[in-house]
A = this chain, B = another copy of it.
Amino acid sequence: MDTGAAIAGLGITDVGKVYGRSARSFAAEAVRLAADDAGLGLADLDGLLVSAGITGGIGIDLAQDLGLTDLRLLTQMNAFGATAGAMVAHAAMAVMSGTASAVACVFADAPLRPGTSAGAAYGGRGGSAGEWHGLQGYAAAAGMRSVNAMYAMAARRHMETYGTTSEQFGAVAVGQRAWAAGNPRAQMREPITLEDHQASRWVAEPLHLLDCCLVSNGGVAVIVTSAERAAGLARPPAHVWGWGQGHPGQRMTRGSAFGLRTGAVTSGASAFKMAGITAADVDVCEIYDCYTYTVVITLEDYGFCAKGEGGAFAASGALGPGGSLPTNTGGGQLSGFYMWGFTPLAEAVIQARGEGGERQADRHDVVLASGNGGILAHHATLILSPHVKGS
A residues adjacent to B (C-beta < 8 A): 1, 52, 59-61, 63-65, 67-80, 82-83, 86, 89-90, 93-94, 96-99, 128, 131, 133, 243-249, 251, 266, 270, 274, 374, 377-378
In contact, B78 and A59 (Cβ under 8 angstroms):
yes
Chain B neighbourhood of A246, CB < 8 A: 70-72
Residues of chain B lying within 8 A (CB to CB) of residue A72:
244-247, 266, 270
Within 8 Å CB of A80, what residues of B? Answer: 60
Residues of B within 8 A of A70 (CB): 246-248, 266
Contact assessment for A97 and B93 in the assembled complex, using a CB-CB cutoff below 8 Å: yes
Contact B60 A374 (CB under 8 A): yes
Name the B residues within 8 Å of A377 (CB-CB): 61, 63-64
CA–CA, A1 to B99, complex, Å? 13
A249 to B374, CA, bound (A): 33
Contacts of A74 in B (CB 8 A): 79, 82, 86, 245, 247, 378
Q: Looking at the assembled complex, report how far the CB atom of A193 sits from the nearest CB atom of chain B, in whole angstroms.
A: 39
Q: Is the CB of B99 within 8 A of A243?
A: yes
Q: Which of B71, B247, B270 contacts A63 (CB 8 A)?
A: B247
> Are B131's CB and A247's CB within 8 A?
no
Nearest 3 CB-CB pairs, A to B?
A93-B93, A71-B247, A75-B79
> Which of A77, A128, A377 is the most central at the interface, judged by chain B CB atoms within 10 Å of its CB?
A77
Kindly state the separation between the CA atoms of A348 and B1 in the bound complex, as whole angstroms: 30
**Is B73 in contact with A76, judged by CB distance below 8 angstroms?**
no
A89: which of B67, B99, B133, B249 is its contact (CB, 8 Å)? B99
CA distance A128 to B60 in the complex (A): 9
* Shortest CB distance A10–B (Å): 22
Asked whether, in the complex, the Cβ of B97 is within 8 Å of the Cβ of A86, the reply is no
Contact A79–B76 (Cβ < 8 Å): yes
B64 near A249 (CB under 8 angstroms)? yes
Report chain B residues within 8 Å CB of A97.
Answer: 1, 93, 96-97
A/B interface sample: 15 pairs, CB < 8 A: A52-B78, A59-B78, A59-B131, A60-B374, A61-B128, A61-B377, A63-B377, A70-B248, A72-B266, A74-B245, A75-B86, A89-B99, A90-B93, A93-B99, A98-B274
Which residue on B lies nearest to A77, using beta carbons? B75
Question: Closest Cβ of chain B: how far from A208's Cβ, in Å?
Answer: 29
Taking CB atoms, residues of chain B closer than 8 Å to A78 are 52, 59-60, 75-76
Question: Is there contact, CB below 8 Å, between B374 and A71?
Answer: no
Contacts of A68 in B (CB 8 A): 247, 249
Least CB distance, A134 to chain B, in whole angstroms: 8
Give the complex CA separation of A245 and B74 in angstroms.
8
